[in-house]
Structure 1
Amino acid sequence: MQLFKKKIFWTGLISLVLLGAAGTYLYTRRVAAAQAADSDEAVMQTAVAHSGDITILASGSGQLVAASERSLGFDETGTLTEILVVVGSQVVEGDLLARLQTENTQASIELAISEAQLAVIEAQNNLDELYANAEISRTSAMKDISSYSQEVRDAQYQLENYTVPTYLMGVETIEAVDSTKEQLDAASAAFEPYRLYPANDDTRYALLVRLNEAQSQHDAAVKRLNYEYELQVAEANLAKSRQEYEKYKDGPAQDEVDLAQAKLDNAQAKLGLAQDEQSVLTLLAPMDGTITEIAAGPGEVIGAESPFITISNLQPAVLTVYLDESDLSLVAVGNAAEVTFDAYEDTIFNGRVTAVNPSLVSVSNVQAVEVEVVLDDGELPADTTFPVGLNATVDIISAQTKNAVLVPIEALRSIDSGEYGVFVVENGEPVFRAVEVGLQDITYAEILSGLKPGEVVSTGITQAQ
């Protein structure tokens, strides 16, 4: 198949055949050149403006491809037991295509289901226990709040009603305990040598009185410390119980609920998979189409996720077309296209450009423009499909004008960028006239205004010897 063809196509009603070679210089310069040749006779070439058509084409080669395609296989490994279609079979969505004997047995499936059910029950119990434990913790926290509140009140009462001895006023509690302990130790050490003296010994009696006073002072300091400690402990326990209550007053902690719920969801998902397990799997058509490939047969082992059947949708008819990169400016989405298949070369099918690849592609080491063309509805006979890969020649119509006023390209005289004129022959003399030019091909130009069909224009000067 020829990869690219490029042509410029034109049709028209040509009323006069060109009599000589075309010139591109202004008519006045041709006249001057003619007058400069003494021995030559200047001959003005002319043509008649006429009505006709111009079509600008970009031609290329293409192949019929599937409009959409799916490669199908099983989700599990097993042995193919039956294939119910052949290449070329027309199927509709839901049709049974094949069966597979998996590696699972009925006993293994039932065991997996039982294990999955137990996992779901366990996960559900854990979630339920969270809520139950939260209620227990909330109730317990309320009870603790009540108890510790009373302990705080009792401790506060004892501390508030404790009379601080004069000798302890202004002294920090811990400091008072330490100081009185030192005094108690000193009094005890002083009394110790006289412990066995007679009770009526004056020195022993004085030291004993001192020891008793030191013990009393130390006991008073310790008692104040205990009252303060009991209050702090009660307040700490009350604060902790309040925190515990706040944590569970609205139920279990959200992060714990989320984790337990995630475990339950996972267990339920696994149960669903276990319940979906089958010893024999079926493969159904996911869409309407034509079976275009079968890569395995009954008795063969098929791996999980290994496609072996291809189903293609061949409607509408879609072609991938390749054009020479120089034709890129001639192609756009929406352009009409004329398709001639190699196998049906006497029939032209109409279509339209539906996509233009924004990047050039390499085809046989040649840069090309890739275009998608879709045949119009009704172009193919009803219930008729062409095989994928069918080669075709495609003409893409870039621009077209019909029943336009046409003159030969040689008649145009460029005045300025994009501005033109022609020399109209009136009474045998060329008269310059500005015209508006439309489409041009390599032979003719469309005159949008300034000229009518039937008027004669000059196409240049030739020399007759």
Structure 2
Amino acid sequence: MYVMSKREGLMKKRKTWIILIVVALLLAAGGGCVAYRYSALTDEPLEPTLQTATVTQGDIVITAEGSGELVPAAEQELVFHTNGVLDEVLVEVGDQVQEDDVLARLETDNLERAVAEAEVEVELAQIDLADVRDGPGDAELANASAALRDAQVELVLAQDAHENALDSNLDAIVDSRKVEFDWWVGYYQTQKAKYEEGHLSQADHDWAMNAMISAQGQWNKAVNDALAEQVQIENRVTQAQNAVHQAWEYLQLLESEPLTDTLTRAELAADQALLAREKALANLEAAQLYAPFDGTVMEVAATVGKQVGANTSILTLADLAEPLVRFWVEEADMSNVAVGNGVNIVFEAFPDTVFIGEIVRVGPVLVTVDNTPAVQSWASFPSSSQEADLLSGMTAEVEIIAAEARNALLVPVEALREVSPGQYTIFVVRPDGELEMRPVQVGLMDFTNAEILDGLELGEVVSLGEAE
């Protein structure tokens, strides 16, 4: 938008007003002159001419002008707060929506499954916590006692089996196989000597050697079987001892009060399950995009079926019900721009309609508009009071009412004599023609008139000074 083209128009208006003011002053000076009697003789000096004005009643308004455009009161790009695939968009550009309306959704199959799983985990954790807090029932205690007795019986049986293993016939078998092996070793040595002397065939020698090797294998097998039986029996005893210890500890735990750390762990597990469920529900809720305020859909940017992230713009929503006018005024007029000052707004599209509003915000820093420093401000107005279709971006001329006084006593600014900063006097022309210097209290002042708050009365004549 070329804003400063409006500003150039404003400058032309100001020049026109200045010219009109000058002309008015000249006319007032001509009409307000009081001629004193002077000599008709050309050789006598002329008496001085005093310019005067009458105290009048009227309005004085301090204004500044600017130009700008219509903008929404609020405009926001809406995004999801989680990642996913866009499943549907429920609105189109131009649709009117209400706060908290659902505008779009992500695919939720995985999110719903996560919620269901989290619900199960919460129930299980709460059951465990209740069990820890309530302690065991009679049946549970009875089962624990029975388990301890069973473990103790198994330990006795395992120990008996271990004692019996010490007297096992496997040891006798080992000894027998050792005796047989030793005999075959001696036999083989004899046959080997005969073979080396040439009194025994190769076949008989080999047979004796194989028989000795076979006897050694039988002996080794007997030894291994005995060792395996010993390890098995010892393992059984160890397992039975561990089972007794565990059964005893479990029974003791049931019969005692819940341990602090046990209760704490159960409570922590329940809390963690609840947090996990809340997160799953939050993720499911985040899969729906809600309207943060009443407004109009300005743009739909995302495509259904596409992956979107937490920073992906889905659509743009704007509040056009009570729009604002963002406008700029020159730096020189910044003293006239303040929050609460009234404004008269005329849109280029509706040149015969004046919207009355007020400034609601003033920018904290100057901005540059067409290479010119300017004050940026925003004004609100009741757009519903006028039958006009206003569209965002419309250009407007803005008149700022910085101050005003209605039915005030007015004198021309030329009548003021500043005796000290902010302190003024005025020469009042008395009925006898004499001048009376009178202090006055001055209110608003523009290029032409000054408001007199105290010190003058309506209809009095004041001096503007001698004509040159």
Q: With the length of structure 2 as denominator, give the TM-score of the two structures.
A: 0.58
Structure 1 residues 462 and 374, CA gap change in structure 2 (3 angstroms): same
Aligned to 1:336: 342
The corresponding residue for 2:331 is 325
Give the secondary-structure state (helix, strand or coil) at the position aligned to 1:387. Answer: coil
Structure 2 spans left out of the alignment, 5+ residues? 33-43, 142-252
Q: Could you tell me which of 381, 405, 410 is aligned with 1:406?
A: 410
Question: Are 1:447 and 2:419 matched, yes or no?
Answer: no
Q: 2:466 corresponds to which residue?
A: 461
**Which residue identity does 1:400 align to in structure 2?**
E
Are 1:407 and 1:445, in contact at CA under 8 Å, matched by a contact in 2?
yes
- Pairs within 5 Å for 1:104-183: 112=114, 115-128=117-130, 130-131=132-133
Paired letter, 1:18: A
Change (3 A) 1:15 1:356: closer
Deviation of 1:60 (Å): 2.1
- How far, CA to CA, are the matches of 1:255 and 1:324 in structure 2? 69
Distance 2:285 2:452 in 1: 75
How far is the alpha carbon of 1:129 from its aligned partner?
Answer: 5.4
Residues paired across the two proteins, number? 329
Whole-angstrom distance in 2 between the partners of 1:375 and 1:367? 26
1:52-451 aligned at under 5 Å gives the runs: 52-74=58-80, 75-79=82-86, 81=88, 84-86=91-93, 88-93=94-99, 97-98=103-104, 102=107, 112=114, 115-128=117-130, 130-131=132-133, 255-256=264-265, 258-269=267-278, 272=281, 276=284, 283=289, 285-297=291-303, 301-364=307-370, 366-376=372-382, 378-381=384-387, 385-426=389-430, 427-451=432-456
1:201 aligns with: none
Residue type matched to 2:467 in 1? T
Tell me how far 1:68 sits from its aligned partner: 2.1
Deviations 1:49-70 (A, max 9, x none): 2222110113222222212233
Deviation at 1:375, TM superposition (A): 0.5
Q: How far, CA to CA, are the matches of 2:136 and 2:326 in structure 1?
A: 67
Which amino acid is 1:412 matched to?
A: L
Q: Structure 1 residues 62 and 259 mapped into 2: Cα distance closer, same or farther (>3 Å)?
A: same
* Pick aligned residue for 1:18 from 13, 28, 31: 28
Flag the structure with higher helix content: 2
In structure 2, give the amino acid aligned to 1:70.
Answer: Q
Q: Give secondary structure in 2 for the equivalent of 1:389.
A: coil
Separation (CA, whole Å) in 1 of partners of 2:460 and 2:25: 12
SS in structure 1 at match of 2:312: coil
Residue 55 to residue 250, structure 1, CA distance change in 2 (3 Å): farther
Confirm or deny: 8 A CA contact 1:314 1:385 kept in the other structure.
no
Cα separation, partners in 2 of 1:369 and 1:89, compared to 1, 3 Å: same
Q: Distance in 2 between matches of 1:125 and 1:376?
A: 60
Measure the CA separation in 2 of the matches of 1:345 and 1:39: 58
Select the residue among 47, 50, 68 that pairs with 1:44: 50
Query: 1:123/1:95 Cα in 2 relative to 1: closer, same or farther (>3 Å)?
Result: closer
Cα deviation, residue 311, structure 1: 1.6
**CA distance in 2 between partners of 1:289 and 1:385 (Å):** 16
Looking at structure 2, the residues matched to 91 and 110 of structure 1 have their Cα atoms a distance apart, in angstroms, of 27
Per-residue CA distance 1:10-52 (angstroms, 9 max, x = gap) = 999x8993337x9xxxxxxxxxxxxxxx977632222222222
From the superposition, tell whether residues 130 and 362 of structure 1 become closer, same or farther in structure 2 (CA, over 3 Å): farther
Amino acid at match of 2:72: A
Q: Distance in 1 between matches of 2:285 and 2:456?
A: 81
Change (3 A) 1:265 1:300: closer
Note the C-alpha offset of 1:79: 4.4
Q: Which amino acid aligns with 2:464?
A: T
Displacement, 1:446? Answer: 1.1
Match of 2:204 in 1: none
Contact 2:133 2:258 in 1 (8 A): no
Distance 1:351 1:379 in 2: 11
Matches of 2:439 and 2:347 in 1, distance apart? 45
Distance 1:415 1:114, change over 3 A: closer
Q: Sequence identity, in percent?
A: 37
**Aligned partners of 2:130, 2:112: CA distance in 1, in Å?**
27
SS in 1 for 2:68: strand
Seen in structure 2, the aligned counterparts of structure 1 residues 300 and 16 have a Cα distance that, compared at 3 Å, is same
Relative to structure 1, the CA distance from residue 109 to residue 343 in structure 2 (aligned partners, 3 Å threshold; closer, same or farther) is closer
SS in 2 for 1:452: coil
SS at match of 1:386: coil
| 1:407 Cα deviation from its structure 2 partner | 1.3
CA distance 1:273–1:351, change in 2 (3 Å):
closer
The question of whether the paired residues in 1 share the 8 Å contact of 2:57 and 2:458 is answered with: yes
| 8 Å CA contact 1:357, 1:369 repeated in 2 | yes
Q: Are the counterparts in 2 of residues 352 and 374 from structure 1 also a CA contact under 8 Å?
A: yes
Distance 2:377 2:450 in 1: 28
Aligned partners of 1:135, 1:362: CA distance in 2, in Å? 81
Distance change in 2, residues 1:254/1:403 (3 Å): farther
Distance in 1 (alpha carbons) for counterparts of 2:346 and 2:267:
64
Q: What CA distance in whole angstroms lies between the structure 1 residues aligned with 2:281 and 2:318?
A: 32
8 Å CA contact 1:80–1:302 kept in 2: the answer is no
Closer/same/farther in 2, CA of residues 250 and 363 from structure 1, 3 Å limit: farther
CA distance in 1, matches of 2:281, 2:384: 47
Q: Give distance in 1, aligned partners of 2:263 and 2:395.
A: 65
Deviation digits for residues 53-107 of structure 1 (CA, Å, limit 9, x no counterpart): 1101132222222122332344442245555422x2223346564565x3x6x5x
